[in-house]
Amino acid sequence: MKGLWHQEAHVFLKQRLALPALLLMAILSITSVWAGMAEIARQKETIARIQPQQANDVAAIAKWVSKEGDAGNAAYYTFHATWDNPSALAFAAIGQRDVAPYVLRVRALGLEAQLYESENYNAELALPGRFDWAFVLTYLAPLFVIVLLHDLKSSEREAGRFNLLAAMARSETGLWRRRIVLRTGLLWLALVIPLAAGGLLSGAKFGGILIFFTVSAAYLGFWTVLCLLVDRKGWSSVTNAATLAASWLVLTLILPALAHLGINAAVPVRQGVELTLEQREKIHGGWDQPKEETMQAFFEVYPEWRNTKPVEGGFHWKWYYAFQHLGDLAAAPQAQAYRNGLEARDQWTSRIGSLLPAVGVQVVLHRQAKTDLRAGLAYQDRIRAYHERLRKFYYPYLFNETPFREADFSKAPRWN
């Protein structure tokens, strides 16, 4: 049995396209892993660089603010850095980290406008984007399967060797099984070995790498079965190749694009920029509202500050930060509707992924790499919680009119 496998491997590698195809697959996989790791290294460098810069900015503001001790100035001018560290497998499926912010500096002002300065979109259904390992698997690997398997039997028929091979083989089924396993298996190894190396260098857990292995094997298996079904029709090798190429175009590009358009039409979602403008309009409208009405509305949310010194005269920081937060509360229903729309699109993407393998593969890989919409929204949730801690840190200084000194800057909540 070992000799049969060795003989089949020798015959396969002597074919004109076999070795070049395997080498090219390995080169593409290595390049995609390298490109993904370079991008993630750049993001990590950005995250690491922003922290000392943040400390320098705060130190400069602290020297200026501490002269007068105005807590309003401290809260207004101090930016607080947040960041979303990439997972160990993010290099293989970059997903929304390519378009959504992974670093965001926030102030104790209205948060919604700060969150939606950049848009979220449905990365799983987008047309091909960044060149990463998920891209190679989803869009390029099927073409290699087609190259290696489209003429598995048809080439033997065209060369007049089919009946002779069937007669000489100990088991005709075993003969074709060995050829299929060798072609697909060697191609799969050329695809996943660079991924395994990248995962080990990135410190990825074995379970996560195993999921990527399993998904890639299942995806190549799908295209293998499709090639065998077409080859059973008895067509010529050229017809097989044309049919499979057309199938690749439809299954990986056309149908996902149509599904993307259909989901966007069925689940309309306002743009985040629109929410930003609407929230800013509501905040700006606070300048025209009577201070008493603004403060009463704020005290309904935070009754613990009701008995503090009333706002009198012209501008006052207490009133300013009160209508900033009220602007967030006024925009909250629209922000929730926007989020619900994004989540509904994401759910429909997952459903489409159960029908379209190309979409399903990217859904699973991005989710496992924590680079999908769900991960982006989780980062927003952490920012919201952090922003609330910031506001509650500044409120005692603002409403009790307590001087804010240089030492108080170090007491501000830190992003974890």
Between CA 92 and CA 369 the distance in angstroms is 8
Between CA 179 and CA 7 the distance in angstroms is 10
Q: Which of 230, 223, 239, 209 is closest to 140 using CA atoms?
A: 223
Looking at the chain, the whole-number percentage of residues with pLDDT higher than 90 is: 64
User: CB within 8 A of 9, min separation 6: which ones?
Assistant: 182
Range of the domain at 259: 1-416
User: CB within 8 A of 243, min separation 6: which ones?
Assistant: 230, 235
Higher pLDDT, 155 or 58: 58
Q: Which of 76, 64, 70, 66 is closest to 107 using CA atoms?
A: 76
Between CA 189 and CA 212 the distance in angstroms is 13
Q: Enter the pTM of the model.
A: 0.89
Residues 76-129: tens digit of each pLDDT: 999 999 999 999 999 999 999 988 889 999 999 989 888 876 544 444 444 445
Query: Total structural domains in the chain?
Result: 1
Q: Which of 37, 36, 34, 27 is closest to 190 using CA atoms?
A: 27
**What length is written for the chain?**
416
Higher pLDDT, 10 or 77: 77
- 8 A C-beta contact, residue 111 and residue 387: yes
Q: For position 121, what pLDDT does the model report?
A: 45
Strand spans (E) along 55-141: 80-83, 103-106
Average pLDDT of the residues of the chain: 87
Residue 348 CA, distance from chain mean position: 16
Residues 257-302: tens digit of each pLDDT: 999 999 999 998 876 666 666 666 666 666 777 888 889 999 999 9
Q: Which of 56, 60, 80, 67 is closest to 404 using CA atoms?
A: 67
Residue 318, H or E segment: helix 317-353
Name 388's bridge partners.
none
End-to-end CA distance of the chain: 58
Alpha-carbon torsion 307, 309, 312, 316, what sign?
Answer: negative
Q: For position 290, what pLDDT does the model report?
A: 83
Q: Which of 182, 38, 47, 41 is closest to 104 using CA atoms?
A: 47
Residues 207-251: tens digit of each pLDDT: 999 999 999 999 999 999 999 999 888 888 899 999 999 999 999
- Per-residue confidence at 4, pLDDT binned at 50, 70, 90? low
Mean pLDDT to the nearest integer, 139-158: 84
Phi, psi dihedral angles at 104 (to 5 degrees): -145, 125
Between CA 256 and CA 353 the distance in angstroms is 9
Q: For position 332, what pLDDT does the model report?
A: 87
